Chains A and B, each alone.
Chain A
Amino acid sequence: MLLLALILAPLFAAAVAFFASGKDGDSSFRLGLFLSLIIAGLGVPLVTCCPDLSLSLPWFSLWGTGAEVKLALASDGLSGWLVQLVTWLTPVAILGSRGAVKERMRDFIACVFVMQALMIGALLARDLVVFYVCYEGMLVPMLAIICLFGGDDRRTSALWFFLYTMLGSVMMLVGIWYLAWKLHTTDLAAIVAGVKTLPADVQGWLFWAFALAFAVKVPLVPLHGWQARTYAETPGAGVVLLAGAMAKLGVYGFLRFVLPIFPQQSAEHAGLFIILGLIATVGGALVAMAQDDAKRMLAYSSLSHLGLVMVGIFTFEATALNGAAVQMFAHGLSVAALFLLVSYIENRSRSFGLDDFGGLITQTPVLGFLFIVAALASAALPGTMNFIGEFELLLGMYALNPWISAIAGISVILGVVYLLILIQKWFFGKARSNETLADVSVSEALAVLPLLLASFFFGFYPAPVASQAGMVAEQLGAPARAKRLEMNGTAPTAMPAALPPEDVVAAPELTPAR
């Protein structure tokens, strides 16, 4: 019931916010914040007391297929932690949107809650149709946020965002419908079991139908055309949810659906995805260096970081899969913090160009401090959660092929380059305009601070995320890994540890951590 409540509560909150709150922005803001915190509290049991909930209610039969769609929801470590990301980023987005949205807060909050409900639904769904409804439905409130609160170029960017994601998803819809027609079910576990009975070439087409839909959302090169433009035009608080949480659903889709349903095809095409991921990782970082506005720079930085995650996933190494789960969460925190801080500056001066400011640290010391810390988190400074994620990802890649790790590692260097350029141009040096910016307000600081504290907390103690979400990711990738080893003609081995343990003289016992 908790799972159902987690989906319905935000919808209810959206209705309450839309109909019950006053016309003024303040009351909607307070109400929205209050409700979002309640929902966030409601989600906490998923990763604490009850990590393995599931629920299945009969729903309807899918026309013309004979498949009974069930409202099948379940939570495990991966879903649970990503739900935390969604539920906790929502109050952050609301808290941080005060300056950007102003009097139309009511609409904004309603959109945010609807989006939250659908993202939670997509994360918990264990039925392809339920997943699809939520996954597609997310687009509507997101587009609404872009169209209502976006920048000058919002229409084109909304259209692009819509076209890209729609085209990707249509393929997946066809795929789901085909599966339902052939296998008479839309239940994920049944599909995983049943898809092997289909002809190989059909499986190949189905793989691409799913992979494309998720690759658009991640995004993966070359399907990233919508990203920079959309991030740049979406209001900061919207990007928090878009980049912080929604983009993670693409990666989640690969982990939850593509790898388990199509292990054979995933293993066959792993090389391609690794190459595309590497192009995104290094190319994204290179292009980020060439940007002259902060939002586009961060968009390309996102492309780079998620490219790294994709490379890690398609190595199928346990370490890298664990790192992918950690990094999804870590990147959600850091990118949300950075976009929020950029939006604060944007709200104050209607600009986010690199050359528009200088010496801000003397005008806005707290904002500068938060920004530098968030940037360092994004650059995976050890001690932040991003470091754990990147370390595990690169370690896993190295186990598969050192060159992958070395090439991907270039982004570790470039990541520092562009962020330091941004910091230097904005916060150091001499002021470049006569305008004096006000420092962050308490509520603005409160929106960012928990993200950074969480990043450091999990940087030193990632075990909760790594052992719950990471473990699930490892399991989800295991079949594909087995297929790859089968293809290579090697038996599965536990670890790259090349020498058997009996050769280790006097080495202390490794203490198992979990």
Chain B
Amino acid sequence: MNASYLWLIPALPLLGAIINGGLALGSAKSANGPARGFVAFLAVLFPTLAFVLTVIGTAQLSQVPARLDAAPALVQTLWSWFSAGSFTLSFGFLFDRLSSMMLLFITGIGSLITLYSVGYMWADRGFARFMAYLNLFLFSMILLVLGASLPVTFLGWEGVGLCSYLLIGFWHTNTEYNDAARKAFVVNRIGDLGFLLGAFALVGVVGSLDYQQIAAFLQGTSKELLAAKIGILSLAAILLFVGCTGKSAQIPLLTWLPDAMAGPTPVSALIHAATMVTSGVYLLARLSDLYAVSAPWVLGTILIIGCATAVFGAVAGLFQNDIKKALAYSTVSQLGFMFMACGVGAFDVGLFHVFTHAFFKATLFLGAGAIIHVLHHEQDMRKMGGLAKLPQLKGVVYFAMFWAWVAIIGLPLGAGFFSKDLILERLFDVAGLGTIIGVIAVFTAGLTAVYMTRVMYLAFWSDSRVDSDTKHHLSSVPFTMQLPLVILGIGSIVTGILFWNELPQALHLPAYFHRFSSTLFQDWLFPVVGTAQAAISAHHEHGAIDHHMLLWLVPVIGSSAAVIGWFVARSRYGKGPIGRSVAEEPSSAPYGFGAAWTFAFDRVYDVLVVKPVKALGLALYWLVELALVSGGTYLFSLAVSLTAGGLVGVQRSRLRSGLAMSMLGLAVILVVLLWNV
């Protein structure tokens, strides 16, 4: 079905970016920059309009009946983008149920975080520039999920990388921030090369990069023919996953995300928690049919990488003193959970965790931003404590953070409870590797509760360790920052019911609860990922535990892990004035660990990649370029100058006359030639 307004969804934020960017550039030399009110109005207006259009599109899409042979979708083909040889590609948009789900929270949360930024960045000189970047980011992110083909997605894919670069290095006089920004861009580019090569491999088999054509081809081609091509298909799948590890900060390309916390906090909330970093999961789900027909080792790799990343992020999160770093490692860990779900072919569950995580992690980051705002740029949790009692924070900020905490550790009724338990359930449903990973995932869920509760104790629940200087000059949290926190905080709790599933029946709850027995989320995504999921689970051997038993066992195990983790953290930080030991030690982690837990990766990459590449460049320059090529040329030119020096000498000494003579000579040649006609 055609929808001619789809282009407006990305175009509106782009317009906002252009206007505000122009204003920022035009007023770059003035003391204050353009009028903040106007800039803020535009910056919030355009994403909000995009959100409204997305809602309209979703409403229209829900009217399209789902058929087995064709997933419901609104499409708009704008123009033929490029064609070479027999490869053609249109520039077009695909608004199907997956895109609509992604777009709803991208534009929705995006608008809210833009609103929040109005309050957070108000005093910053670069206000208009920041707003322009945010709009540009939303434009790219919308392209990423709305693109009808891999290249259009890639346009957004690299676009969000660029915006991430610009926003991490937003305060560009700080060299450390600039380095972090550059690192993020380069690491992402490494992944992007994987993306490109994967796409090329796919062209070799499918002959097209259009999502609908890819899906139709992979679902419609006979098993034998696909089996003959399984090598190339698996290669394409794993290369595209390399792209995902870059964008979604998975092992081995995760090192940029903790550093990316150099950016302003709303950026961390929007880009480095809620939206951009989840695009890897989106891509896997988008190409779920590809993963369904690739060799099992591809999904196995994704499963193991996701699990390793989840554990690593959770352990690293235990040792962070910077509140944003703690949340960053938490994001890494949660992304690992999403990839674990994809690894057993549970794309809908992975996406559900993307969805709920967007709410509660954005809330946590925005809450952290509010704390940082109130405490005048203090991010060190050792200098916090007792924030729950501060008048500026005890209302909206504390309660939003509290509910987000409930959600992330997986206490019953929080959004994370549903999404995380669904992941565990699907893991345990697969025998062998799936079950083993499931056990590790439960352990990791417990760790999540430990590090998040630690954050809550250090920040909110312990005695105050705030500097007395700071204490007397606390800022207040403006309304523009409070409203998004309220909405997202509510979202952290209520979004869970979208995937309530058969839980009420399984728990033998009274009939009243059966009314909520909604599988809205799962049903909604079924036409996009359902075929692939069915195909993948057909290959799986079902786990030892009976499916119906899982339905009540996993929630019990999951919430027990959360409660145990909570109490572990409580026993360490919740008794007495914990401030002493934590506050006075330079770090609660081994030396070097507290700052950046990715240091091991950084060190390895530095030794194995960065330094050798630099050295190779220098060696090539000095040995080959200067010594060999230039040296050789120099000797040769010297010989020529000595033997035929006269003519060159004349030209060199009298440049003007030399030029005139050359012109004359040329003219003479022309005349002579023409004379012959």
- Measuring CB to CB, which residues of chain A are less than 8 angstroms from any residue of chain B? 57-61, 107, 111, 114, 133, 137, 140-141, 143-144, 147-148, 155-156, 159-160, 163-164, 222, 224-226, 228-229, 283, 286-291, 317-319, 321-323, 326, 359, 361-362, 365-366, 369, 376, 381-383, 388, 391-392, 394-396, 398-399, 402, 405-406, 409-410, 412-414, 416-417, 420-421, 424, 427-430, 439, 460-463, 466-467, 470, 474, 494-499, 503-508, 510-514
Contact = CB atoms under 8 A, between A and B. Distances in A.
A409 B239 CA distance: 13
Contacts of A111: 659
B197 interface: yes
Contact of B666 (A140, A156, A413, A429): A140
Q: Which of B190, B221, B663 has the most CB of A within 10 A?
A: B663
A289 B633 contact: no
Contacts of A287: 617, 620-621, 624-625
B87 interface: yes
B479 interface: no
B225 interface: yes
Interface in B150-207: 151, 154-155, 157-159, 162, 165, 169, 172-173, 175, 178-179, 182, 185-186, 189-190, 192-193, 196-197, 200-201, 203-207
B613 A286 contact: yes
B83 interface: yes
Interface in B601-656: 613-614, 616-618, 620-621, 624-625, 629-630, 632-633, 636-637, 640-641, 648, 651-652, 655-656
A212 B376 CA distance: 65
B159 to A, nearest CB: 7
B507 interface: no
B677 interface: yes
Contacts of A461: 79, 81
B85 interface: yes
A505 B221 contact: yes
12 contacts: A163-B636, A164-B633, A222-B629, A224-B629, A326-B82, A365-B28, A381-B158, A463-B79, A497-B205, A504-B216, A505-B221, A510-B207
B659 A144 contact: yes
Contacts of B91: 460
B80 interface: yes
A107 B220 contact: no
Contacts of A229: 630
A228 B629 CA distance: 11
B666 A159 contact: no
A382 B656 CA distance: 46
Contacts of B636: 163
A505 B220 CA distance: 5
Contact of B203 (A160, A463, A496): A496
Contacts of A164: 633
Contacts of A143: 662
Contacts of A283: 620, 624
Contacts of A388: 82
B84 A413 contact: no
A383 B161 CA distance: 13
Contacts of B656: 107, 148
B252 to A, nearest CB: 15
Given A365-B28, A420-B182, A511-B90, A398 B613 contact: no
A466 B88 CA distance: 11
Contacts of A497: 86, 204-207
B626 to A, nearest CB: 10
Contacts of A427: 172
A309 to B, nearest CB: 14
A466 B82 contact: yes
Nearest to A411: B193
B213 interface: yes
Contacts of A163: 633, 636-637, 640
Interface residues of B, number: 93
List the 5 shortest-distance A-B pairs measured between CB atoms, nearest first: A318-B85, A505-B220, A60-B676, A322-B84, A365-B28
Contacts of A61: 676
Contacts of B206: 497
B217 interface: yes
B82 A398 contact: no
Contacts of A317: 85
Nearest to B661: A140
Interface string B41-53: 0000000000000
A494 B86 contact: yes
A474 B85 CA distance: 7
Contacts of B538: none
B477 to A, nearest CB: 30
A308 to B, nearest CB: 13
Contacts of B90: 511, 513
Contacts of B219: 505-506
A506 B217 CA distance: 8
Q: Which of B157, B617, B648 has the most CB of A within 10 A?
A: B617
B173 A429 contact: yes
Contact of B662 (A140, A429, A498): A140
B212 A508 contact: yes
Contacts of A394: 196-197, 200
Contacts of B620: 283, 286-287, 290
A463 B80 contact: yes
B7 to A, nearest CB: 12
A316 B629 CA distance: 29
B658 interface: yes
B659 A504 contact: no
B389 interface: no
B222 interface: yes
Contact of B633 (A225, A414, A495, A508): A225
B572 interface: no
B85 A495 contact: yes
B632 A225 contact: yes
A145 to B, nearest CB: 9
A424 B83 contact: no
A366 B28 contact: yes
B29 interface: yes
Nearest to A317: B85
B673 A60 contact: yes
Contacts of B625: 228, 287
Contact of B82 (A421, A428, A463, A503): A463
A114 B666 CA distance: 10
A416 B185 contact: yes
A505 B85 contact: no
Contacts of A460: 81, 91
A224 B182 CA distance: 30
Contacts of A147: 651-652, 655, 658-659
B357 to A, nearest CB: 27
B580 interface: no
B208 interface: yes
A424 B182 contact: yes
Chain B CB within 10 Å, residue with most, of A155, A159, A395, A494: A395
A39 to B, nearest CB: 19
Contact of B204 (A58, A321, A498): A498
B25 interface: yes
A290 B186 contact: no
A318 B25 CA distance: 42
B545 interface: no
A148 B662 CA distance: 13
A196 B363 CA distance: 73
B182 to A, nearest CB: 5
B669 interface: yes
Contacts of A133: 669, 673
Contacts of B585: none
A428 B637 contact: no
Contact of A289 (B80, B84, B154, B613): B613
B80 A513 contact: yes
B69 interface: yes
Contacts of B179: 424
A381 B161 CA distance: 10
